[in-house]
Amino acid sequence: MRLAVRNAMASAVAFLFPLAVLAADPNLCAACHGEGGNSVNPAVPSIAQQPRQFIATSLFMFREGTRKDAQMSPMAANLSNAEMNQLADYFSKQKAAAPKHQSSAESAAAGPALAKKFNCSQCHGPQLLGQQHIPRLAGQQFEYLRLQLKSFKAQTRGDIDGNMSAAAQALNEKDIETLADFLAGQSVP
Amino acid sequence: MKSTIAFAVMAAFAAAVQAQAQAPAAPPSWQQGKPPAAADSTLHPFNIEMTGKSAKELPVDKLKLPAGFKVEVWAEGMPGARTMALGDKGTLFVGTRQLKEVYAVRTVGGKREAKVLLKGLDAPNGVVFNKGTLYIAERHRITSYANIEAQLDNPPQAKVVVDGLDPDKQPGHFWKFLAMGPDGKLYYNVGAPGNIVMPGYFQATISRVDPKTGVVETVASGVRNSVGMDFHPQTKQLWFTNHARDWLSDDLPNDTLHRVSRKGMHFGYPFCHQGDTLDPEFGKSRSCKEFDQPALKLGAHIAPIGMRFYTGKMFPAEYQNNIFIAMRGSWNRTVKQGYNVMRVALDDKGKVTKYEPFMTGFLVDDRADPPMWGRPNDVLVMRDGSLLVSDDQNGIIYRISYSK
């Protein structure tokens, strides 16, 4: 499976990633996360321009089993720390594409106040671009955001310090819909 | 009848587990005690690099020491490296807090080789080596690994010294430091289960356990959380560092250094901080006079972790029996401080005569988020008299040496 993906993608995208010397191949990630880490699948997160430490920490959690996903867990299982760091460095330096998602007028209007009310901006930053081990939310894929918030609320999503599991307790179904819809349509400077 | 009871017990247990799973998640421990006025505060703890960082990516040349001292990278590739212990045959054992691993570092042909010695442990922060045996303090227990240096590639099963140290899975300060006392007993902390809360009867203490019998005693109380301790080379008295509460202010209360001069001392938590400052909630009807005083106020939110007396021959004579303290640095302070190794000199009576920076340069911008590129966590005197410093932010160990 891994090899098949590699073969299928290799010739097509080799010239897009001139860093062919990397031990961990970003082409493998791009097969699902999109060219340069900009996902075109609403259920798959964009990893372009995510904070370096966040990407490395996520890969670590998938490898160690503190975060679980049918696709990601096996992908991360054999990566070394050095490979994770290389991938994190690479994707953190890719430019985030303009979001395809269009927020509804209601979500766009209610979003900023909601993000403040539920303390999103306290850690994710005033423009929700993430920092250190905390991810960028602005322009992230809609379905992915919605599922993460639901999973944090249900306490089934791996959480490095318990912060998000606690923060998500205050959200109701509608808040989650509104926040995900608002965030997914935010463009990244 | 028996099976009915067993079934009932199992059903009750299953229900309890389910009830637990459905309870709303509590805020993380670091937010406990945050006053409503600080609701919009963007202060947050920094997370370590879980995958480590290579020294060549870091401004190691920015580290500064007094004249005659130099620092070099001694070993790297040990994410989360914290407490250090030296084996008789020269193996360095390194514990972790957020990872589940204990590392062993060997010097082969002048080069350091770091490997994961033990994995799957629960916050194995405490490591100490004594008479061929490695002792490890995890969240809930202390274990021993006899004759470990002969079995580094195939370590033996853990032998339990004492278990049940965390019966309630306390949310905060569950990681433990471990030291071997001159009395042959293992000294360790049991931290307060939150920022500012009433501790349980064996929490917020320094305790000790006799490895021969497994019998535990309380050594000192009212200690919010100590993750560094050592015994004075001459008096053999226990000294330890302590972290004070958060969310009170930038400058109060101070983290502290303590000396244990008799059994049964109480250093004030949660009623009185730094020996002279009543807690606004728990101290209302108390007085600081009933508690024992710290030996030194170290600074607020400076985060003292590992501390050791300098007993080597390499550094100038004035450093003999000084204390080096690794300051991991503040998060709960608008202007950050710490992120260095401090030096404390004592007179013959154990009174502090000097408190000054020894190694600085990890702190880049005291108002930035993050403010630093590395965080000192523990110090260890090597047999040649050089001093190792662990940095858990990056998983690196540095070596400080001196020559005229």
pLDDT tens digit string along A28-53? 999 999 999 999 999 999 999 999 99
Least confident of A20-29, B84-93, B315-324, B343-352: A20-29
Tell me how close the Cα of B327 comes to any Cα of chain A, in angstroms: 21
Say whether pLDDT at A21 is over 80: no
Mean pLDDT across the stretch A115-143?
95
Least confident of A21-35, B324-338, B346-360, B362-376: A21-35
Nearest to A85 among B29, B51, B369 (CB): B51
Say whether pLDDT at A20 is over 50: no
Percentage of the residues of chain B whose pLDDT score is greater than 70? 95
pLDDT of residue A10: 39
pLDDT of residue A62: 97
Mean pLDDT across the stretch A144-154?
97
Percentage of the residues of chain B whose pLDDT score is greater than 90? 92
Say whether pLDDT at A93 is over 70: yes
Find tokens 């042959």 and name the residue: B184
pLDDT of residue B5: 52
pLDDT band, residue B6 (cuts 50/70/90):
low
Contacts of A56 in chain B (CB under 8 A): 49-51
Mean pLDDT across the stretch B321-334?
98
Mean pLDDT across the stretch A143-153?
97
The chain B residue lying nearest A165, using CA atoms, is: B25
pLDDT of residue A7: 39
Among residues B247, B202, B270, the alpha carbon closest in space to that of B32 is found at: B247
Give the DSSP letter of residue B66: S
Mean pLDDT across the stretch A66-86?
95
* Residue B326 and residue B379 in contact, taking contact as beta carbons nearer than 8 Å: yes
Three-state DSSP at A174 gives helix
pLDDT band, residue B26 (cuts 50/70/90):
confident
pLDDT of residue B404: 87
Tokens standing for residue B8: 């009932």
Say whether pLDDT at B17 is over 60: no
Distances (CA, A) of B34 to A121, A124, B246: 18, 19, 8
Among residues A72, A162, A157, the alpha carbon closest in space to that of A123 is found at: A162
pLDDT of residue B22: 60
Among residues B298, B319, B301, B304, the alpha carbon closest in space to that of B400 is found at: B319
Nearest to B46 among A132, A163, A169 (CB): A132
Mean pLDDT across the stretch A64-90?
96
Q: CB distance from B25 to chain A under 8 Å?
A: yes
Say whether pLDDT at B115 is over 90: yes
Among residues B322, B383, B336, B377, the alpha carbon closest in space to that of B80 is found at: B377
Cα–Cα distance measured from residue B356 to residue B342, given in angstroms and rounded to the nearest whole number? 6
Q: CB distance from B50 to chain A under 8 Å?
A: yes
- Scanning B367-386 for CB atoms below 8 A from A yields 369-370
Nearest to B25 among A53, A85, A169 (CB): A169
Give the dihedral sign, CA B262/B264/B269/B272.
negative
**Contact partners, residue B217, CB within 8 Å, separation at least 6:** B207, B208, B209
Q: Report the first-to-last Cα separation within chain A, whole angstroms.
A: 36
- Is it true that the peptide bond before B24 is cis, omega within 30 degrees of 0? no
pLDDT band, residue A14 (cuts 50/70/90):
very low
Q: What is the mean pLDDT of chain B?
A: 94
Provide DSSP, A34-89: -GGG---STTS---TT--HHHHHHHHHHHHHTSS--TTHHHHHHT--HHHHHHHHH
Say whether pLDDT at A105 is over 90: yes
Q: Which residues pair with B297 in a beta bridge?
A: B256
Cα–Cα distance measured from residue A90 to residue A135, given in angstroms and rounded to the nearest whole number? 16
Mean pLDDT across the stretch B91-99?
98
* Residue B325 and residue B331 in contact, taking contact as beta carbons nearer than 8 Å: no
Longest dimension (CA), chain B: 81
Taking only the tens place, the pLDDT of each residue in B182-238 is 999 999 999 999 999 999 999 999 999 999 999 999 999 999 999 999 999 999 999
Least confident of A138-147, B33-42, B216-225: B33-42
Among residues B344, B327, B345, the alpha carbon closest in space to that of B336 is found at: B327
pLDDT band, residue A23 (cuts 50/70/90):
low
- Helix (H) / strand (E) element for B280: namely none
Long-range contacts of B140-147 (CB under 8 A, 24+ apart): B140/B164, B140/B165, B140/B166, B141/B165, B142/B176, B142/B178, B142/B186, B142/B188, B142/B209, B144/B211, B145/B118
pLDDT of residue B70: 98
Say whether pLDDT at B15 is over 70: no
Q: How many residue contacts between A and B have a Cβ separation below 8 Å?
A: 60
Find tokens 């395809």 and name the residue: A100
Tell me how close the Cα of A90 comes to any Cα of chain B, in angstroms: 14
Long-range contacts of B351-355 (CB under 8 A, 24+ apart): B352/B257, B352/B295, B352/B296, B354/B322, B355/B296, B355/B298
Q: Other CB atoms closer than 10 Å to residue B88's CB: what's the count?
A: 11
Taking only the tens place, the pLDDT of each residue in B361-389 is 999 999 999 999 999 999 999 999 999 99
Say whether pLDDT at A2 is over 80: no
Among residues A105, A120, A104, A101, the alpha carbon closest in space to that of A164 is found at: A120
* Residue A99 and residue A178 in contact, taking contact as beta carbons nearer than 8 Å: no
Tokens standing for residue A182: 């608002």
Pairing mode, if any, of strands B265-266 and B216-221?
parallel
**Contact partners, residue B97, CB within 8 Å, separation at least 6:** B80, B82, B123, B125, B175, B392
Longest dimension (CA), chain A: 48
Say whether pLDDT at B144 is over 70: yes
> How many CA atoms lie less than 13 Å away from B186 in the CB half-sphere?
30
Say whether pLDDT at A145 is over 60: yes
Taking only the tens place, the pLDDT of each residue in B145-169 is 999 999 999 999 999 999 999 999 9
pLDDT of residue B193: 97
- Is it true that the peptide bond before B370 is cis, omega within 30 degrees of 0? yes
Q: CB distance from B77 to chain A under 8 Å?
A: yes
Among residues B221, B220, B223, B260, the alpha carbon closest in space to that of B244 is found at: B223
